[in-house]
Structure 1
Amino acid sequence: MKKAKQYTGMFLAAAGIAAAVSCSGIKNTALRAQLEKSNCNQQNVYTYTVADMPRPIHEIIIDTALLSKFSFKSLNMAHAIGVLDDLGRYADAQKKYRMQPSAESRLHLLELSQKIANRINISSLEVSAVSSEMDCEEERASQIANYLSGKQDALESKLTVGAIVVGATGAISTGALLNSGNSGDYIGVGTGVAEATLGLLILLNKSGTEFHHKRNALKEIWKGQATSSIFPPSVWYYLNYKNPAQQGAGSLRELLIEKWISFGQVAHNPSKKQLKKTQLYFGNGGKYSAGQLNNRADMYDQLESNINLMKQDLKGLFTELEQLHY
């Protein structure tokens, strides 16, 4: 009986060690640094007021000459980056040049065209800068998620092997002690407890880690305030503009949130449990699981894609400008 109890104690001790291993956290120094602080932002903090934001284009009067030469998307983009007035001056200068061509008026046209093109290029760089930060944050979350998943998979493999070894050892020991009174029964009970413990550990193998993000672009998208400290005015205007002429069509920001809700990434009217999850994504950080980090990375990827759409409209504006002839 003493020997049987020793076997049982050995099995339970093995299960206890596995449990302790399953609760271990991330000790890698480089990864710990990524958990505490992000290096994705290179001091791009925007401070502007509502007065600095472009007014919605449907609230201003646009020169009819521009309406005949440029699409609404291009005009809205020109308004977002602050060159709508320059486009108007360009249209007037072009008209005067056609009526009375001269080297001076041609030079004036070239200067206006260059000024608008420069602003388009600068805006494109702004979009790239913001997009690169979103991509960096996505990779940051994804990298930690992959690390956690790798640890979980490795531990699950060890626990599975442990369960197989315990089961096999228990079966052999029970058979060997079949004629030794109740010893085989003790071994069977100990083996069963150890296997059940290892199986439970496999099911509960969902370790997490603290992940912090004081600078949180997802939070600004979710709240949708009048200004942003992460997005420049042109990008923030682009993401928030909603054309009243298109019934039922929301802004890119609203459509993005709608997708998050529709695909179950966040909850719109969350329960207490879901509210905690929502606060995790749109707060300053907290304890994330690998799945939650992957979800956060996906949300950043979707945000980055929407920001990059602005480059299509910038290209459209530049193309329409180039197509105008003197």
Structure 2
Amino acid sequence: MVKTYPAGHRPAPWWQALGLSGLLLLGSCNTAPRSLAAKDVPDESECAPLTPVVAPKGYAVLPEATLATDSLLARTFSADALRTANVCGLVPQLRAMLATEPGTLARVVARQQVSSRLTDVALEISSTAGELDCEEERADQIADFLLDEAGSRVKNLTILAILLGALGTVATGLMSLFDVRKTIYRPVGIAIGLIGAALGYSSLRTSAAADIPFSHRRNALGDVWHGPAESTVFPAAVWNFLSRPGIRGATQPPLRKRLLNRWLTAGELGAKDAEEKKQLEDLLFGEGGTYKADALRIRANLFDQLESTVNLMKSDVQQLAREVAEVE
């Protein structure tokens, strides 16, 4: 018995139904990237101190030659402790303390003034390390978002490629089984194969394509890179600790230069070609720009290393405090 259909109500051919089902299935996988609004990107003000960092009144760092000629200081304190005292601006207070008679009220008052300044320096170190750690976490957080977004898109594109490949195999197989002309099903197979290849290529490029605006007008890395005489980010004592030669060894170059040497040779920038290195330098050590996840990871690593270098000052200040406490 031949089945008849009302005029205008004949069902669509099977290959059209199969194609429509495939399109619906593919459409159910969303490959659109998630977006992060600019207002949702953590701002650098979240890490900066509430008030600008200023040097204490009367703060001054003396030339090394001046320290070498003071025999009383040299007899009382070690060379490393004197260098630490100098970057903390404490040499005048140490001289004043040693000028007082042991056991007198004047000696007690002078020692308290030195101890108070050492406490301030310790807090400055902790505050600076906290800001550097905050900036590291800020960069890491956005890098994680970009990588998660890329991973989600790659997953969806991979699912699409698998479904499309399966759909193409089934469609061309059925067309061949039902003796559909080769001029129809062969182009269909080629088209589905090209679309699958395009999806695979898109998944490869997805992780490298995600980027986001990321600003840092207050940039500690920029000060380390450019090396100004005075820093607007670091407290004076911490900046002098990083930028003066002879710290942690009389013949040693400044810690800032040693840090830069690590970055530019064996560190995050050492393996880059000249053009990529120049782009990263402008991005990392300037006021910000459009970052990809790998550049944000580099920025976070640089902050981690800088924070570790700043924390070295804690042991130096502790040594100086011990030697001050041993003075009669």
SS in 2 for 1:38: helix
Match of 1:74 among 78, 81, 104: 81
- Partner of residue 212 from structure 1, selected from 201, 212, 215: 215
1:234 and 2:232 matched: no
Counterpart of 1:181 in structure 2 is 181
1:38 to 30, 34, 45: 45
Alignment partner of 1:320: what SS? helix
Q: 1:133 aligns with which of 131, 134, 144?
A: 131
Tell me, yes or no, if structure 1 residue 258 matches structure 2 residue 246.
Answer: no
Give SS of 1:211's match.
strand
Distance in 2 of aligned mates of 1:2 and 1:255: 72
Identity %: 28
Kindly tell me the number of residue pairs found equivalent between the two proteins: 306
* 1:53 and 1:233 in contact (8 A); partners too: no
Counterpart of 1:201 in structure 2 is 202
Contact 2:213/2:290 (<8 A) preserved: yes
Give the distance between the partners of 2:242 and 2:271, measured in 1 at CA: 20
Preserved contact between residue 78 and residue 84 of structure 1 (Cα < 8 Å): yes
Bigger shift: residues 172-181 or 117-126: 172-181
TM-score norm. by structure 1 comes to 0.83
For residues 58 and 208 of structure 1, the distance between their equivalents in structure 2, rounded to whole angstroms, comes to 51
Corresponding position: 1:149 with 2:150: no
> Any idea what SS the aligned residue of 1:177 has?
helix
Aligned to 1:100: none
Aligned to 1:84: 91
**Contact map agreement 1:242 1:250 (CA 8 A) in 2:** yes
CA contact (8 A) 2:26 2:164 kept: no
Letter of the aligned partner of 2:36 in structure 1?
I
Question: How far apart are residue 53 of structure 1 and its match?
Answer: 4.9
Q: Deviations over 1:121-140 (max 9, x none)?
A: 01111111111111111111
Displacement of 1:7 in angstroms is 4.6
1:205-231 CA-partner distances (Å, limit 9, x unpaired) = 121111111111111110001111111
C-alpha distance in structure 1 between counterparts of 2:270 and 2:262, whole Å:
11
| Pairing 1:307-318 to 2, within 5 Å after superposition | 307-318=310-321
Structure of greater relative contact order (alpha carbons < 8 Å, 6+ residues apart): 1
Q: In structure 1, what is the equivalent of residue 306 of structure 2? A: 303
| Pairwise CA RMSD | 3.1
Task: Work out whether residues 38 and 213 of structure 1, in 8 Å CA contact, stay in contact via their aligned partners in 2.
Answer: no
What is the CA–CA distance in structure 1 between the aligned matches of 2:44 and 2:235, rounded to whole Å?
23
Amino acid at match of 2:237: S
- Whether the aligned pair in 1 keeps the contact of 2:225 and 2:285 (CA below 8 Å) is yes
Question: Does structure 2 conserve the Cα–Cα contact (< 8 Å) formed by 1:63 and 1:88?
Answer: no
Instruction: Select the structure that is richer in helix.
Output: 1
Q: Give the letter aligned to residue 160 of structure 2.
A: G
Following TM superposition, by how much is the alpha carbon of 1:236 offset from its aligned partner in structure 2, in angstroms? 1.1
Between the aligned partners of 1:134 and 1:214, the Cα distance in structure 2 is 14
How many angstroms does 1:202 deviate by?
Answer: 1.1
Decide whether the 8 Å contact of 2:157 with 2:199 is kept in 1: yes
- Does the CA-based 8 Å contact 1:25-1:209 persist in structure 2? no
Verify the 8 A CA contact 1:53 1:237 in the aligned structure 2.
no
Task: Return closer, same or farther for 1:2/1:281 CA change in 2, 3 Å cut-off.
Answer: farther
Structure 1 spans left out of the alignment, 5+ residues: 98-104
After superposition, where does 1:264-303 map in structure 2 within 5 Å? 264-266=267-269, 271-303=274-306
